[in-house]
Amino acid sequence: MSIVDHSSFISPEFIIRAATENWEQTGAARLRHQVFVEEQKIFVGNDHDEIDRTAIPLVAIATLAAEPADVVGTVRIHQSTPRVWWGSRLAVAPEYRRVGRLGAELIRLAVSTANGCGCHEFNAHVQLQNVPLFRRLHWEPVAEVNLHGVPHMHMLASLAHYPAICDPATGWFSRARRG
């Protein structure tokens, strides 16, 4: 009998939805720490701030045998003033960055959720290396800004490309790209 090494297994299916369970919220916090504190070293200790009190965390969940298994992507959204929304802390686990459209799916859920809440403007400060992705997803650059010592682009989403979602906890399934 052979033993299969599952350490390099990458799930072919993902659930994209609002984080409603404690394990999903904990997984999102763990992933943000991994990406923004340990990997990118943008923050020391943790990346939590006042926005976390009101933000809606969204997650990409890898599945195992079609069941939710682990948070492998996250973003948070919040309303800064009436009808003006922001997305921030977009993170995808390193081993999942090349297998699918997880970042794009999280962005779609973020803007569509805000649209479902009556958003008339959706903003994000995007690290410069991610600007091409956002442009492909119908975002426009506004101005370059420096946040936490890292250059970012303030960007605005074209809301017409994001249909309103009123229940982000329902979410959807997404399949990994082949090849």
Is 8 contained in some domain?
no
Q: What is the mean pLDDT of the chain?
A: 91
Instruction: Determine if the pTM surpasses 0.85.
Output: yes
Residue ranges making up the domain that contains 117: 13-175
pLDDT of residue 91: 97
> Is 62 within the bounds of a domain?
yes
Pick 69 or 159 by higher pLDDT: 159
Q: What is the mean pLDDT of residues 107-115?
A: 98
Tens-digit pLDDT profile for residues 23-41: 999 999 999 999 999 999 9
With respect to residue 91, please indicate whether it lies within any of the assigned structural domains.
Answer: yes
pLDDT band for position 136 (cuts 50, 70, 90): very high
The total domain count for the chain is 1
Measured CA to CA, the distance from residue 14 to residue 11 in angstroms comes to 7
Q: Which domain CATH number covers 92? A: 3.40.630.30
> 2 in a domain, yes or no?
no
DSSP 69-113: EEEEEEEEEEEEETTEEEEEEEEE-GGGTTSS-HHHHHHHHHHHH
Edge-to-edge strand order for the sheet containing 172-175? 139-147, 150-157, 121-127, 84-92, 67-81, 56-64, 13-18, 172-175
pLDDT digits 0-9 by tens, 112-128: 999 999 999 999 999 99
Residue 118 lies in a domain: yes
Tell which residue, 100, 96, 87, has the closest CA to residue 58: 87
User: Is residue 7 a part of any domain in this protein?
Assistant: no
Q: Is residue 144 part of a domain?
A: yes
Query: Would you say residue 71 lies in a domain?
Result: yes
